[in-house]
Amino acid sequence: MLKSIGIGAELFHELIESNCYYVDKTPFIRTVFKENKADVMLFTRPGRFGKTLTLSTFYDFLSLNIENPGDVSLQEKWFKNTKIFEDREFCSEYMGKFPVIFISLKAVSGSDFTGAYEQFGSIIFNLYNSFNYLSDSPKLSDTDKKIFNKIATDENFICNVANKYYITDSLSSLLRLLHKHHGIKPVLLIDEYDVPIAMAVQNGYCLEMLDIISPFLSNALKTNMDLGRAVLTGCLRATRESIFTGLNNMLVCSILDTGHDDISSGIGFTKEETQEVLTYYGLSDYYEEVRNNYDGYRFGICHMYCPRDVMNFCKDNYKKLSDNRNLIQADNYWINTSGNAVIEEFMGFIESEDVDLMQDLLDGKSITAKVRTCLCYGDLQNHDINDFWTLLLYTGYLTFDPLSYNPKNDEYSLYIPNEEIRECFRLKIKDFYRNNSVMKASTAELVKGLFEGDAEKVQDNLNTLLGKYVSIRDFSVNAPKENYYHGFMNGLLVNGTSLIAEQKSNFESGNGYIDLIIKSLKNRGVIVIMELKQTSDENEDKVLIAQDAVEQIIQKKYADPYIKRNDIKAVLTYGICFCKKECVVVGRKLK
């Protein structure tokens, strides 16, 4: 019987005890805690790549049995079939030997500082209660116990913003108390350390949160004689926020680091691991589909897959092998997850030249951009385009070519990693044009101008929109360039459907096919027919080309069936000539 797939399970021991499939990443424990000597390690990886599971694996392997120190029976049960268990010398030295603090900050996501602080306080309260044996420790002084009990016994106290300074020393104090009780320096694991900062920037209370998070982390990590080793995970390395200022004993392992393979491949699935999973569930014939949709990430010099996507694909499809293979498909598992708002937020600020870069990305091309390795969340408020590309890279919406690095300008070649992420871009860009007030207003004025016969108004609004628009078309790069603008116009008119009763594209009429035809919702007897042209030569007479487009409508009798109809009050025709980010519009009323 096949192992079940534990989607959403983030704790190692729960996966094992539930007999879920586990891709064996346990050698990474040895890589981090023995082969690397840094006191503090920070791993920055996109969401959905298994950061929490990685830290949970560390926790389950390293944690000593509080009630019976030296008893490693649980570890032997959980890890007996893993690769790390084969290294008996390492297991003897590290397995079940340390007090371990494991804290996740991903839940600190309040819409205001008070709410976020209360969430933070609850996390600290629960953390302290997981070590409640310290309140009776004979190795702690009365003063030590008083400090511990102040936090561990009154959740309302620690969750009160007026007492916020108790939180700033809470982590360093707990390290000290654990060291004093056990005589062993604790291991500290902090998952998603940067979520509180990201949410604070997004909701406008950044300085207040930094006033808490900076001393909370720095007091625990900087020159702390009570700390054994610390491992942190997150998306960005927050440096300028002063969280890690002066922390010289930290090794940062970002997605850009071209270090050893054993570090770069420790989080995420390699190609070989992905193939093993697919083979286990009988889906090896669908490897190319999985590769096209979920592959393409680079961590250092390693080629990686998104674990959650691969496992979701297997969960959704392996039973279809015996039912109906035609139903097997690669769904999009990113689109409804957190983090997608970053695309929409920046779309409102990018300039026309940046829109062209976004268009290149959607077309499957790469762009050259400056990547800020020390990007801070606070910087995002400036809406600098390089910060946008950097954020997309660190959050998994873009990846990079490790051979493209230009150290002189800190530039990389960036591109969308796979079809799943490309679809996320398409859908989020659609949402932007549908919901953005400026785009909606310009589109509404454009449609009104078309039905009013105002070619100048149409031209002005089209030129405004051209400067901000990213096409979500999907056609071959060898297709005629008119297709770009056809997709552009179709997308705009869809957003103006509150004014349009009917919209058709490439519609057969007269002696040919109308590019676009729309019917007014307000004045149902008004028809608009458009013929689109394109030129790449800025020196060509675009007015003449637009006039020729109108003549084509007349000569090929596109409008004749409508001119003859008694229920049609007006037939308005437009020839539109596009040239890069500009257009010329010529109109003529035929009825």
The pLDDT, as a whole number, for residue 476 is: 38
* Model confidence band, residue 25 (pLDDT cutoffs 50, 70, 90): very high
The pLDDT, as a whole number, for residue 474 is: 42
Residue 358's domain comprises 341-432
Q: For residue range 365-379, what is the model confidence (pLDDT) as tens digits? A: 999 999 887 777 767
The pLDDT, as a whole number, for residue 269 is: 95
The pLDDT, as a whole number, for residue 258 is: 59
Question: Which of 378, 412, 432 lies at the terminal end of a domain, its last residue?
Answer: 432
Does residue 515 contact residue 530 with C-beta atoms inside 8 Å? yes
Question: Which of 432, 464, 497 lies at the terminal end of a domain, its last residue?
Answer: 432
Residues 378 and 467 in one domain: no
Residue 270 lies in a domain: no
The pLDDT, as a whole number, for residue 259 is: 59
Residues 364 and 493 in one domain: no
Residue count of the chain, please give it.
591
Sequence-distant (6+) residues with CB within 8 A of 544 are none
Question: Which of 224, 258, 292 lies at the terminal end of a domain, its last residue?
Answer: 258
The pLDDT, as a whole number, for residue 104 is: 96
202-229 mean pLDDT = 91
Most confidently predicted of 276-280, 444-448, 493-497: 276-280
User: Which amino acid type is present at position 472?
Assistant: I
Q: Poorest-confidence range of 92-106, 226-240, 346-360?
A: 346-360
Token pair, residue 125, equals: 């309260």
The pLDDT, as a whole number, for residue 57 is: 98
Query: What's the domain count of the chain?
Result: 3
Please give the Cα distance from 144 to 159 (Å, whole number): 21
Please give the Cα distance from 188 to 190 (Å, whole number): 7
Q: For residue range 228-271, what is the model confidence (pLDDT) as tens digits? A: 999 999 988 765 455 776 677 788 888 987 556 688 899 999 99
Q: For residue range 326-348, what is the model confidence (pLDDT) as tens digits? A: 899 999 988 766 555 666 666 66
534-560 mean pLDDT = 91
Edge-to-edge order in the sheet of strand 411-415 = 367-370, 411-415, 399-400
Residue predicted with more confidence, 342 or 88: 88
The pLDDT, as a whole number, for residue 339 is: 55
543-570 mean pLDDT = 92
Give the chain's mean pLDDT. Answer: 88
Q: Is the dihedral of CA 252, 203, 127, 244 positive or negative?
A: positive
Residue 443 lies in a domain: yes
| Lookup result for tokens 């044009």 | 433
Token pair, residue 465, equals: 């929109």
| Lookup result for tokens 């459907």 | 497
Sequence-distant (6+) residues with CB within 8 A of 352 are 466, 467, 468, 581
Q: Cα dist. 248→35, 190, 360 in Å? A: 19, 18, 40
The pLDDT, as a whole number, for residue 340 is: 55
| Lookup result for tokens 């179709």 | 490
* Model confidence band, residue 132 (pLDDT cutoffs 50, 70, 90): very high
- Taking 60 as the threshold, does the pLDDT of residue 463 lie above it? yes
Does residue 175 contact residue 103 with C-beta atoms inside 8 Å? no
Residues 229 and 254 in one domain: yes
Residues 513 and 407 in one domain: no
Q: For residue range 292-313, what is the model confidence (pLDDT) as tens digits? A: 999 989 998 888 999 999 999 9
483-495 mean pLDDT = 77
The pLDDT, as a whole number, for residue 68 is: 92
Residues 425 and 489 in one domain: no
Q: For residue range 172-189, what is the model confidence (pLDDT) as tens digits? A: 999 999 999 999 999 999
Residue 560 lies in a domain: yes
| Lookup result for tokens 């398409």 | 426
Question: Helix, strand, or coil here: 537?
Answer: coil
Residues 160 and 83 in one domain: yes
Q: Which of 500, 482, 502 has its CA nearest to residue 552?
A: 482
Residues 229 and 362 in one domain: no
Q: What is the CATH number of the domain that holds 475?
A: 3.40.1350
Please give the Cα distance from 580 to 401 (Å, whole number): 29
Residues 461 and 562 in one domain: yes
Q: For residue range 36-50, what is the model confidence (pLDDT) as tens digits? A: 888 999 999 998 899
Please give the Cα distance from 410 to 298 (Å, whole number): 17
Q: For residue range 494-509, what is the model confidence (pLDDT) as tens digits? A: 766 678 888 888 888 8
The pLDDT, as a whole number, for residue 497 is: 65
Residues 542 and 578 in one domain: yes
Q: Which of 110, 115, 150, 109 has its CA nearest to residue 129?
A: 150
Residue 259 DSSP symbol: -
Residues 109 and 233 in one domain: yes
Q: Which of 338, 264, 332, 353 has its CA nearest to residue 25?
A: 264
Edge-to-edge order in the sheet of strand 269-270 = 269-270, 302-305, 297-299
Does residue 377 contact residue 241 with C-beta atoms inside 8 Å? yes
Does residue 414 contact residue 288 with C-beta atoms inside 8 Å? no
The pLDDT, as a whole number, for residue 585 is: 96
Please give the Cα distance from 351 to 336 (Å, whole number): 27
Q: Using N-to-C axis directions, what is the helix angle for 419-435 and 352-362, rounded to 10°? A: 140
